[in-house]
Amino acid sequence: MNMDIEHSRFNMVEQQVRPWDVVDLRVLDALGRVRREDFVPEAQRALAFADVALPIGHGEFMMKPVLEGRLLQALAVETGDSALEIGTGSGFITACLATMARDVTSIEIHGDLAQAAERKLTRAGITNTRVHAADALTGFAPNRSFDVIAVTGAVHREPDVLRTWLAIGGRMFVVRGESPAMEALLVTRVGASEFREQSLFETDLPYLTHAAPAKRFVL
């Protein structure tokens, strides 16, 4: 065991994530057990535990550890839950969800990122995930509902279809709005056509592909 890496991982959890009001022990355990350094690009490995968003290609970024912790805590994932992730990215949040939920379906628009995440999940010994290369916002149809939906990139406006994939009682984390003032929300489906929104915090994330606001033209 590399003690320097384990010390850095401990500090990430205890000095970055926990002080940001992440107190769910299952979340802290997942962040402490999943080897984040194995999911970051090789060129960024030295920064695996830093309080920064790390580029992973295609203009996409891994969230800061504090945001990952807040996302996971907000969703209150239970062991019997079925989870959907929109935006696999590096596969790290996928892996964390997999340690907490029954199964995880993850959608990634970029085929090379999807393949890389699958390889990393396999090497980590995680077997309850399925990664699909697809555009979740255009034509994707899971033909099932989920207890948990994690949207890992921002949306200018929330696509209506996302809520239809939530089971009754299901929770969705989504960051919505216009950069740089975006709002992290927890959406809970409380009935067949009834949803409750809870504002969590303000943040700023890169948009999902096809989810940014239309460009304004100034004459």
For residue 129, the model assigns a pLDDT of 98
The number of folded domains in the chain is 1
Tell me which DSSP letter residue 14 carries: I
In this structure, is residue 209 part of a structural domain? no
Would residue 208 count as lying in a domain?
no
pLDDT at site 218:
47
**Is residue 214, in this structure, part of any structural domain at all?**
no
Answer whether residue 12 is part of any domain.
yes
Look at residue 76 and tell me if it is in a domain: yes
Cβ 84 vs Cβ 150: under 8 Å: yes
pLDDT tens column, 173-190: 999 999 999 999 999 999
The amino acid present at 133, given as its one-letter code, is A
3-state DSSP helix/strand/coil percent for the chain, to nearest 5?
35, 30, 40
Is residue 65 situated within a structural domain?
yes
Domain at 149, CATH number: 3.40.50.150
pTM beyond 0.75: the answer is yes
Tell me if 213 is assigned to some domain: no
In a domain, 197, yes or no: yes
Dist CA 39 CA 23 (whole Å): 24
Task: Print the domain residue range for 150.
Answer: 3-203
Q: Which two tokens stand for residue 169?
A: 């009682």
Q: Please give the pLDDT value at position 2.
A: 76
> Which portions of the chain are predicted below pLDDT 50?
217-218
Q: Which amino acid belongs to residue 4?
A: D
Helical ranges in 130-191 per DSSP H: 161-164
The pLDDT value recorded for residue 210 is 87
Burial 18-49 (b: 16+ CB within 10 A, else e): bebebebebbbebbeebebbbbbeeebeeebb
Please say whether the beta carbons of 207 and 153 come within 8 A.
Answer: yes
